[in-house]
Amino acid sequence: MVLVYIDQAEKQIKKSAFEVLSYGSALAKQLGCAAEALVLGSVNDDLAGLGKYGITKVHQIANEAVQHFDAKVYTQVIAAAAQKAGATVVIFAHSINGKAIAPAVAVKLGAGIVTGASALPKTDAGFVVTKTVFSGKAFASIQIETPIKVIALNQNSFGVFTQDGNATVEAIDVAIPSPSIKITATELIKGEIPLTEATIVVSAGRGLKGPENWGMIETLAKTLGAATACSRPVSDSDWRPHHEHVGQTGLQIAPNLYIAVGISGAIQHLAGVNRSKTIVVINKDPEAPFFKAADYGVIGDAFEIVPALNEAILKSKAGA
């Protein structure tokens, strides 16, 4: 059986979970077994409706003790649930939470693991998983030979697929260890699209010259329904909050569209965004390294191009 871990926050299933459910369902079909899911805590979403992603059953632990993410507690609970459900493959999203718990769950289960998977395993002669390596510049094929296997899927690498069907929802009873940390306060960022969930991201760098010029980036993002991001020098200079920093030492994202404004495109920044489906670069320096990675490039002054682009998009929306 293939077991898919459903990540949730604030009682809402994260967008990345739907792709992982589709992936787990496709893998189960390939292996000739069932695909089931596991969710920790209470959620407001219709769990039975998740059957449209191809799973037949959702195991839920609706206990307040697992409502909030705790890597140590989640590791033990997920491993115990996987063993009790009889899972032979456990699937995670290769997200911030997934990176924290997938390797630890693999250790608990004595399982081989591949993180950053980019495609379905090849199962005609073994169990071979393809993953990205060297910051997305190459691929590696890794064979897992253990009886139980753990896979963490790269965001936006497989897609979301739906069909008709409903899943049964059942409680699963496993021991929940006492947490080693205590949450005393939570500060939520309101009114923003989380970078890791965004399909469109508008990002900017030192080419904007200062934080006072960020208004046009926020305006364009609002017009596109996008999240905003920045390069590391920008967040280090306190022009923008650190949670917007994308790159090798920041968040790694894979939106459908990434618009980079005034960013030179150093290799450290590319490592965080090179899995984007489409990259658009706006820079007045024709020699900027980012143009080599771009699908589309605009050479010119961002202070002229960005407002003009925003105006054109608004006119296009009005015409539609």
Q: What is the DSSP pairing of strand 8-9 with strand 112-117?
A: unpaired
pLDDT in tens, 19-75: 999 999 999 999 999 999 999 999 999 999 999 999 999 999 999 999 989 999 999
In this prediction the pTM is: 0.88
Please report, for residues 36, 247, 275, 305, the alpha-carbon distance to residue 216 in angstroms, rounded to integers and kept in the order given: 45, 22, 25, 10
Over residues 196-222, the pLDDT tens digits come to 889 999 999 999 999 999 999 999 999
Classify 247 in phi/psi space as left (phi over 0), alpha (psi -120 to 50) or beta. left
93-107 pLDDT, tens per residue?
999 999 999 999 999
- From CA 118, how far away is CA 224, in angstroms rounded? 27
Q: Output the CA torsion 208→211→213→217 (10° steps).
A: 80
Show the domains of the chain with their CATH numbers.
2-171 (3.40.50.620), 195-319 (3.40.50.1220)
Measured distance CA(194)–CA(213) in Å, rounded: 22
Q: How many angstroms separate the CA atoms of 53 and 25, rounded?
A: 7
CA distances from 123 to 18, 127, 143 (A): 23, 5, 10
What pLDDT digit, counting tens, does each position of 183-198 carry?
Answer: 787 777 666 788 888 9
Residues 270/275/277/279 CA torsion (nearest 10 deg) = 0
What does the mean pLDDT of the chain come to? 93
Instruction: Report DSSP letters for 52-89, one per residue.
Output: GGT-SEEEEE--GGGSS--HHHHHHHHHHHHHHHT-SE
Residue 150 has pLDDT above 80, yes or no: yes
Do 171 and 61 meet the contact criterion of CB atoms below 8 Å apart?
Answer: yes
